[in-house]
Structure 1
Amino acid sequence: MKRSLKSKNRKKRILVDIYYLHVAQTGIRTYTEALIESVQSAVDPQFEYIISPSYASIKSSTFFKGKTPKWKNLLYQLLYFLRKAVVLPILTHWHRCDLVFSPDILSPLWARGVKISVIHDAAFWENPDHYNPRWRRYFLSLLDLSLRRNAQVVTITEYSKKQLQKHLNIPRLPVHVVYPATNLVAKSTFKSERPLQSPYFLHVGVMEKRKNLVTLVRAYEHFLKETGKTDVKLVLVGQRGPRKELDDYDNVIHEIDRLRLRDQVILPGFVSREVLESYYQHAFVYIFPSLNEGFGMPILEAFSYKIPVIISNQGALREVGGEAVLYPKDNSAKAFAKEMEKLVKGKEVRNSLVERGEKRLKSFSGTQFLDKLEKVFSAETW
C-alpha cells in the first residue's frame, strides 16, 4: 500500500535526450541548451527531468567537436542510431519514464511512455539537395517509424506546423506549437570598442545557400546606387557551410568580386563571442534574408541588442518578428534594397522598430517556454 501511494504521488519523469549536443552547432544546440537552462533554473518544475547523457560530460568532451575526420563522423552516426534504436529505449525502462523528449528530431524507435520529437522545420523534405540522398532516406524512414506509435511532435512556429503536417502524412499525429526559449534579454547600454568606424548592415550565420546571401550582396549594391551612401558597409559574420552541398561561400565571394564590392563588404569569418557582441552592439541594421527557416533566432538576438531588423518575406520569420520587423514585398534584391533605404532615411522608423523589438523579445522567455512545454507534457503523459 505504501509503495502504491508513493508511486501515485511521485512526479512524472521526463527523459531528455541531449546526445546530439556532441555535434550540434546552430538551432538545435541553442534550443537544447535553453531547455536545460530553463529546467535547471525552474523553482518548482511539475516534472522530474532526467538529462541524458550528463550535460557536464558533453560540455567537457571534445572528441566529436570541431573539424573531424571522416571516420569520426561515421562513428558518431553509428553511435547515434544505436542510441535511438537500443540504448534510449532501455534507459526509459531503467528510469521508469513517463515520457522521452528528443530535441534533435528523431525519437527512439520504441520506449516506455510517450515519445515526443522536436522537429524544427521541414528542411528534410523541402531541401533534399542539402543532404546525402542515402543518409536522408534512411533518416526519414527511421523518423517515420518512430512517429507511428505512441508519438507526438513539438515544433516551434505555426508556419512549421503547417509544413510538417503536409510532409509527415501521418493521420492523427498530434503536432504542438511551443515557441522556444531564447533566454535573451535587452542588453545593457554599455558598448565595447567599435569594430568598424563606419555604420554597417549586419548578418551573422554560416554561409549556406538557404541563407540567401548572394541576394543580400546584390541588394546592398542596389542600395549603394540608389543612396550613394558608400560610408555604410555590409558585414557578413560567419564561416563556410558545414557541408559542400550546403556551402555558398564561393558564390558569395564571386558576387562581391563581380560587383566590385571588396572594399565595402566585410568578411570577418568565425569570431569569438566577445567580438561578435561588439559587431551586434554597433550595428546599424540587422538583415536576415534567409529563404528557409523554421524559426529565426538571429531576429531575437538582434532585438536584444536594440537593432532594427529586416527579414525575408518568409512565413516563420514573419511569425517570429511580428510587427517589430520590416520585410520586402518579394525576396528580390531591389525589394530588399528599398527596405534598407527606409532605415537609413527614417530615424522614426528605426526607433519604432527598436521599441517593438524589445516588447516582442519578452514573448520568448525561458519561463514561458517551460510552462507551455509542460502543458503539452501534462496533457499527453497520463
Structure 2
Amino acid sequence: MRVGVDATSWLNRRGFGRFARNAVGRLVESDGETDWVFYIDGQSAEGAALPAGVDERRVTLSAAPSEAAAAGSSRPLRDLLRLTRAVRSDRLDAFLFPSVYTYFPVVGTPTVVGLHDAIVEQLPELTVPSRRERVAATLKHRVAVRRASRLFTVSEASRRSIASHFRIAPERLRIVPEAPDPVFSPREGERLTAGLAEIGLAPGDPFFLFAGGISPHKNVETLIEAYALLRSRLGEAAPLLVLAGDLEGEAYLSSAASVRERVERHGLGAAVRLPGFVSDEALACLYSGARAVVIPSLAEGFGLPAVEAAACGAPVALSDLPPHRETLGEAALFFPPTDVSALAVILERLSGDEELRREVGSRGRRAVSGLTWDAAAAELGMLLREAARLA
C-alpha cells in the first residue's frame, strides 16, 4: 500500500501538530510494509524531523500552511493547486490529513480526514478573525467532510458535536484517541530545578499554571479574574500564576493584549509570569512543580494540556466540559467555565490543602496511564486500509 500524508502541520505548536507527530509518527514506525509519501512545504521541511524512511515531497508555497491555514484558511489558491498537483502526480492508494486545518483538495485518491473539534463552528467570533475568513473556514471544513472517504475525531464528545454541526451520522466519525506526548512524565531533582530556572522559578516557589494557546476561547481572562480574587483574600501568601503560551507572532486569533490588560488592571504584574512559548522539557517541569494546572477553556476537542499535566502528576482544575469529563472523569476538580467565584474557591482549596493536591494528582496520573499513541496509530492504520479498498 502506498499512502500520502499531509505533513504541512508537522511543526504546528497546537494540539493537532502534536497529534500529527505522535500518531502518524507511531503509525509509520509500526507499519514497515506501507510506502509513505509525506507532502510538506519547503519552509516547514527545514525544521521538521520527519519519520525515518518516508519519501519526502517538498512543495514550494508562498506561506507555510501551518501558519496561513491557522489564521482562517486564507491560503492563496495557487498554493492549494500546487499541493493538489503534487499529490495527483503520484500514484497513491490513500491520503491522510491528520487535521482538517491544513486541508486541500485531493483528486482521484480516497482521503482520511481528521476533525479534532467543532470549535470554529461553535465559537466563530472567538477563533477566526473576520467574517470572510469564517466563511472560508466553514467552506473548507464542509468540502473536506463531503469528499472524505473516512472521517475521524479524537473524543466521543467531539464526535457528538461535529456530527451535530455538520449534520452527519455519528457513525461516520471514528475515534482516534489522543495521549500524552512521551516527554511528559514527572520531573524531580536537578532536572526539575533546571527546567524551572528557565522560567525564573525555584523548586520551592508555589505557583498555579495555565498552559496552552493564548486565544479567546481558552478563556484565560476568567482565570486571571479568579486569581485576582484569590490574591485579595490571601495577599502575598497566594501562589504565583504562570501563563505559558505564545504571546507574540501567534498565527491564531490571540487574546494576548486582553490578558496583559487584565493583569495590569488588577495590579498583578509581580505575581503573574508570562514566559511565552516554552520547550516541552520546561513545560514538563512546570507541570511537575505546579500547585495545580488550571485549564478554563470554553471549548475543547480532547484537552491535551490537561492530560499532559496529569501524566506529570499535577493536580488539575478544569472547566466543566464534556471532553474534560471524558478524559479525566473524577480525577480532576471541575468548575463552570465562566464562574470566577467558583474557580477562586478551587484555587484557594488547592493552595492550602497538600493532601487534596496529592490525591487529585495521583488520581489524574492513574486516569491517563492507559492512553497511548499506539492505540491512535492502530486506528489510523485501519482507516487507511479501509479507504484504500475504495480506490
With structure 2 as the length reference, what TM-score do the two structures score? 0.80
Match of 2:201 among 178, 189, 196: 196
Q: Is the 8 A contact 2:263 2:269 kept in 1?
A: yes
With structure 1 as the length reference, what TM-score do the two structures score? 0.82
In 1, the alpha carbon distance for the partners of 2:177 and 2:345 equals 31
Q: Secondary structure at the match of 2:328?
A: helix
Partner of residue 103, structure 1: 98
In 1, the alpha carbon distance for the partners of 2:311 and 2:193 equals 16
In 2, the alpha carbon distance for the partners of 1:172 and 1:284 equals 39
Partner of residue 3, structure 1: none
User: 266-275 vs 291-300, which deviates more?
Assistant: 266-275
Q: Is the 8 A contact 2:74 2:136 kept in 1?
A: no
Q: Secondary structure at the match of 2:99?
A: coil
Structure 1 residues 140-159: aligned runs within 5 Å: 140-149=138-147, 151-159=149-157
Q: Secondary structure at the match of 1:15?
A: strand
Query: For 1:6-65, what per-residue CA distance to the aligned partner results, in whole angstroms no more than 9, with x for missing partners?
Result: xxxxxx33322112336x3312211111123212432xx386151412699844259956
In the TM superposition, residue 165 of structure 1 has moved relative to its aligned partner by: 0.9
Q: Is the 8 A contact 1:19 1:53 kept in 2?
A: yes
Bigger relative CO (Cα 8 Å, ≥ 6 apart): 2
In the TM superposition, residue 206 of structure 1 has moved relative to its aligned partner by: 3.1
Partner of residue 161, structure 1: 159
Q: Secondary structure at the match of 1:117?
A: strand
Q: Is the 8 A contact 2:4 2:39 kept in 1?
A: no
The one-letter amino acid of 2:114's match is: V
**Structure 1 vs Structure 2 CA RMSD:** 3.3
Query: For 1:67-111, what per-residue CA distance to the aligned partner results, in whole angstroms no more than 9, with x for missing partners?
Result: 999xxx9996445422454433x15xx3331x2110130655344
Match of 1:265 among 266, 272, 286: 272
Identity %, equivalent residues:
23
In 2, the alpha carbon distance for the partners of 1:380 and 1:302 equals 35
User: 279-288 vs 48-57, which deviates more?
Assistant: 48-57
Structure 1 residues 71-82: aligned runs within 5 Å: 77-78=76-77, 80-82=79-81
Partner of residue 34, structure 2: 48
Q: Is the 8 A contact 2:118 2:158 kept in 1?
A: yes
The one-letter amino acid of 1:122's match is: A
Match of 1:133 among 131, 134, 140: 131
Structure 1 residues 203-352: aligned runs within 5 Å: 203-228=210-235, 230-240=237-247, 246-329=253-336, 331-352=338-359
Change (3 A) 1:172 1:297: closer
In 2, the alpha carbon distance for the partners of 1:216 and 1:126 equals 21
User: 151-160 vs 270-279, which deviates more?
Assistant: 270-279
Query: For 1:322-359, what per-residue CA distance to the aligned partner results, in whole angstroms no more than 9, with x for missing partners?
Result: 22211114531111111112222332322222222222
Change (3 A) 1:65 1:200: farther
Q: Secondary structure at the match of 1:324?
A: coil
Partner of residue 4, structure 1: none
The one-letter amino acid of 2:121's match is: W
User: 192-201 vs 202-211, which deviates more?
Assistant: 192-201
In the TM superposition, residue 235 of structure 1 has moved relative to its aligned partner by: 1.1
In the TM superposition, residue 123 of structure 1 has moved relative to its aligned partner by: 1.9
Query: For 1:262-319, what per-residue CA distance to the aligned partner results, in whole angstroms no more than 9, with x for missing partners?
Result: 2211222334445444433322211111112212111122123211111111222222
In the TM superposition, residue 157 of structure 1 has moved relative to its aligned partner by: 1.0
Partner of residue 6, structure 1: none
Partner of residue 7, structure 2: 18
Partner of residue 9, structure 1: none
Partner of residue 36, structure 1: 24
Change (3 A) 1:166 1:305: same
The one-letter amino acid of 1:17's match is: D
In 1, the alpha carbon distance for the partners of 2:187 and 2:47 equals 33
The one-letter amino acid of 1:213's match is: V
Q: Is the 8 A contact 1:300 1:361 kept in 2?
A: yes
Aligned residues: 361
Query: For 1:206-262, what per-residue CA distance to the aligned partner results, in whole angstroms no more than 9, with x for missing partners?
Result: 321111111101111222334456341111122327569822222222222222222
Match of 2:377 among 362, 370, 378: 370
Q: Secondary structure at the match of 2:254?
A: coil
